[in-house]
Amino acid sequence: MYHKEKSIQIKNSASALYNNLCALRIAPRRLTYFTVVHANVVNMVSASWDGLNYSHRQLQSKEPNVATSTSLIMQAAFCSLPSRDLLVVTSQKGIQVYESDGSIMVYWHALDIPETQTGKVASKLDFPCRFLSLGISTGAILVFDVPSKGSNITLSDVLEGHKESITDMASECCGGEVCIADLVSADDGGNLCVWKSGEEFKLLNHIPGFDISCSSVKLWKGTVVAGYGTGQIRLYEAVTGILHAEVNAHARWIYSLDIAPYSGLLLSAAEDSLVRVWHLTMTPESQSVEIAHLHNECVTDTQICGAKFCDADGYAFAVTGYDLSEIIRYTQS
């Protein structure tokens, strides 16, 4: 179903962090940006679609007002808002927002987390509205209002729905259809919160976990797709919390999930060296969603830490692994 393409070499190896690969397709310029985190550095590669041109850039996590301080980066992710694309880099100390090519820092926000708390921070991306939200280790979610131009990003809300460290968040990626829920957040205890964005965010539903960390979460057509530390994937209906499907998907901790919104293809990747492709189908008659397994790829001797579709149909996907200095690519045959 898929075959391996030529890999893209990156300057550093990927660190073992959840969802450690992000891709942004720039159709007008026929290129794709990829970001991979290595300790305190973000490696950015801009790859042209014809496979001939690659350019690299590295961003280091630095606090603008403390010249010598560096901290480890938790995530670097592209945030596609209606009017602009931004690159959000979250570190132990706070968040930095750049233009999507990493050229200019547009905004930064320092977190005042007391020493006793672990400084884990998870970034959230792909918001349909103007909001950028950020989950932190206390379980709180900070919501920032992003204007369509300029750097006047402001903290507009703090959502309290979780008591444990936020691990991942996702916004609805159904591609323009009207949805009830548009944000889901997951935490270290496996608890999921479903939100509706707006002037004031509203908590629509809380789906309890089973003390197993949920490391990756996606929201598609009102369905929450969650990946857990036990290697299971579960599909819930977001607003009601009804469990539609449970898959014993991987033999190790799941590190990354991604959905291609137009085709309903789902990508899952774990520490067990395997990337699996699934198909999600909505069945209007039973008002539920079904999942079918399509394909496996094994990246030998590698603990995978990031897997992303490169386009909204799922025609191609890319993978990163711990200690690997390349982005491996696969395309449909």
Partner 1 sequence: MSSRTLPLLFINLGGEMLYILDQRLRAQNIPADKAKKVMNDIITTMFNKKFLEELFKPQELYSKKALRTVFDRLAHASIMRLNQASMDKLYDLMTMAFKYQVLLCPRPKDILLVSFNHMDAIKDFVKDTPSILSQVDETYRQLVEMYTTLSSGEFQLIRQTLLIFFQDMHIRVSIFLKDKVQNSNGRFVLPTNGPVPYGTQVPGLIRMFSCAGEEVTRRQFSNGGNYTAALREGSFEIFGDRVTKLGTNMYSVSRPVETHLSGTSKNSAQHTKVNVAPNPLAKEELNLLARLMGGLEVQKLGNADSGFRVNLFSTDEEEEEALISRPDDLLYGVINIQATKDQQANAELAKIMGEFTESGDQSPSSISKGDDLLAMMDGL
Footprint of partner 1 on this chain (CB under 8 A)?
11-13, 15-17, 38-41, 58, 60, 67-69, 72, 92, 115-116, 118-120, 164-165, 167, 187-189, 211-213, 215, 229-232, 242-253, 272-274, 286-288, 290-293, 296, 298, 300-303, 322-323, 325
Answer whether 219's CB lies under 8 Å from 181's CB.
yes
Within 10 angstroms of residue 198's Cβ, the number of other Cβ atoms is 11
DSSP code of residue 172? B
Nearest CB to partner 1, comparing residues 144 and 253: 253
Phi and psi at residue 324, in whole multiples of 5°?
Answer: -100, 130
Minimum Å gap between C-beta 100 and partner 1 is 23
Minimum Å gap between C-beta 225 and partner 1 is 13
Minimum Å gap between C-beta 72 and partner 1 is 5
Nearest CB to partner 1, comparing residues 55 and 152: 55
Give the whole-angstrom CA distance, residue 184 versus residue 26: 26
Residue in the structure block whose two tokens are 């320092």: 110
Give the whole-angstrom CA distance, residue 149 versus residue 84: 8
Minimum Å gap between C-beta 148 and partner 1 is 34
Nearest CB to partner 1, comparing residues 85 and 290: 290
- If phi > 0 it is left, if psi is from -120 to 50 it is alpha, else beta; for residue 58 that is beta
Nearest CB to partner 1, comparing residues 152 and 296: 296
Report the chain's C-alpha Rg in angstroms: 18
Which of 222, 218, 131, 223 minimizes the C-alpha distance to 180?
A: 222
Within 10 angstroms of residue 154's Cβ, the number of other Cβ atoms is 11
Nearest CB to partner 1, comparing residues 105 and 245: 245
Nearest CB to partner 1, comparing residues 26 and 105: 105
Minimum Å gap between C-beta 217 and partner 1 is 14
Structure tokens at 39: 């300790």
Minimum Å gap between C-beta 252 and partner 1 is 7
Largest CA distance in the chain: 60
Nearest CB to partner 1, comparing residues 173 and 254: 254
The three state secondary structure string of 173-222 is: CCCCCCCCCCEEEEECCCCEEEEECCCCCEEEEEECCCCCCEEEEEEECC
Answer whether 315's CB lies under 8 Å from 25's CB.
no
DSSP code of residue 7? P
Nearest CB to partner 1, comparing residues 116 and 333: 116
Minimum Å gap between C-beta 294 and partner 1 is 9
* The amino acid at 50: D
Minimum Å gap between C-beta 126 and partner 1 is 23
Structure tokens at 182: 């548009």
